[in-house]
Amino acid sequence: MSNKALITGIGGQDGLFLSRILIEKGYEVHGITKSSDLGTLAHLEEDVRDKIELRVVNIAEKAPIDTLISEGQFDQVYHLAAQSSVARSINHPRETIESNVLGLTNIATSIRDKSPQTKLLFTGSSEMFGDLVDGQQSELTAPNPQSPYGLTKAFGFQLVNAYRKHYGLWAATAILFNHESEYRGEQFVTKKIIQSVVRIANGGDETLSLGNIHAQRDWGYAGDYMEGITQMMERESPDDYVFATGQLHSVKEFVEIAFNKVGIKLEWTGEGLAEEGRDTETQRTLVNIEKRFYRPGDIAGTCGDASKAREQLGWVPKTALDEFISKMIDHERANQSSKS
Ligand code: GDR
């Protein structure tokens, strides 16, 4: 009999990669989404998608989660469902808490009460660490969240720890640093940049407006991180792991690389809100700064130390930044040309 896995939040970028990996490994995959919209799963190969048992369930409601967990008796639950935008959490803290705090509490408590042999993996976030103080952030770094989103991820990390300790559950947190791909949502800066760069390369006359382009992130490829979390789940005893590349890049560098890839070289002038990126050939302004895209409490930088995952799981990020920016551009080009 094949192993049975449940993926909550299967309709996002990570759900797509994770379903592919689990189906390939021979798992029976069940997924829950918040609406009947297929979301990112629309990009999944049809034969893979057909194998997924999909259901619409609101994770913030306890009764349907109890029924699902009790009837499913899953071997593994990957809890991905969350309000995942830091920016949105600032304006919608209640929605973020409902989805992230109540959602995890419902899932973990149902497993404790209805299916205690089920392994639970929670996808945590580097956002729980707040700003980089020195060096890199690891499993031992103390949480110091700055945003409602980061607070919910710190809460989740501690809850999972407590359930593991007090109830003997197989429960663990994957502390994921920024991870991107061609299937990334438009609310995140990398996708926003790529969409605009491709439109401009295709002759569009827009300007890419951004907030803090000096923020630095440790960006990896989502497919690699989802491989890592399945390796984590296969361990006999539960433990938390950081997944990161250990490489820091600014938003500005990301913009420059993306434009370079479509043959446009930028030169920068000005500072703060007056900073601008111009096409060196035409002198046209392609990038500007708008105050509305700045966030209160934005984290200036995050950088992860994934040596524990490397040593204990043999995990290394395979896809370099340059490589996944190309994948994102190719995918976006195909997407835009299919619409024109
Ligand atoms: P982040 O990702 O908040 O790190 O959370 P995001 O891509 O939203 O922001 C990264 C950095 O870019 C700066 N920035 C902008 N961001 C957006 N979205 N739009 C802009 O116009 C813009 N201009 C500059 C931001 O200020 C920030 O510094 C991601 C999410 O995937 C979380 O779910 C995950 O937990 C963490 O990464 C690790």
Could you read off the pLDDT of 246-263 as tens digits, one per residue? 999 999 999 999 999 999
Q: At residue 294, what are phi and psi to the nearest 5 degrees?
A: -80, 150
Q: What distance in Å separates the CA atoms of residue 197 and residue 217, rounded to the nearest whole number? A: 20
Q: What distance in Å separates the CA atoms of residue 253 and residue 266, rounded to the nearest whole number? A: 11
Q: How far away, in angstroms, is 130 Cα from ligand 1 center?
A: 13
Residue from 13, 84, 86, 210 whose mutation best tests the ligand 1 pocket (most atoms within 8 A of CB): 86
For atom 12 of ligand 1, which residue has the closest CA? 189
* Contact predicate 280/266, CB 8 Å: yes
Residues 181-205 have a mean pLDDT of 97
Q: Which CATH number fits domain 4-181+220-246+302-318: 3.40.50.720, 3.40.50.150, 1.10.3720.10, 3.90.1170.10?
A: 3.40.50.720
Q: What distance in Å separates the CA atoms of residue 233 and residue 217, rounded to the nearest whole number? A: 26
Chain centroid to Cα 325, Å, comes to 16
pTM for this one?
0.97
Count CA atoms closer than 13 A to 275's CA, side-chain side.
Answer: 17
CA distances from 92 to 95, 155, 184 (A): 6, 17, 21
For atom 5 of ligand 1, which residue has the closest CA? 86
Model confidence pLDDT, tens digit, residues 100-157: 999 999 999 999 999 999 999 999 999 999 999 888 999 999 999 999 999 999 999 9
Annotated active-site residue 149? The verdict is yes
Would you list the domain boundaries of the chain? Answer: 4-181+220-246+302-318, 189-215+250-299+328-339
Quickly name the fold that domain 189-215+250-299+328-339 has: UDP-galactose 4-epimerase; domain 1 (3.90.25)
CA distances from 335 to 14, 47, 324, 330, 331 (A): 19, 21, 16, 9, 6
Q: Output DSSP code: residue 186.
A: T
* Contact predicate 137/304, CB 8 Å: yes
Is 136 touching ligand 1 by the criterion CB < 6 Å? Answer: no
Other beta carbons within 10 Å of 274? 9
pLDDT at 2: 72
Model confidence pLDDT, tens digit, residues 272-328: 999 999 999 999 999 999 999 999 999 999 999 999 999 999 999 999 999 999 999
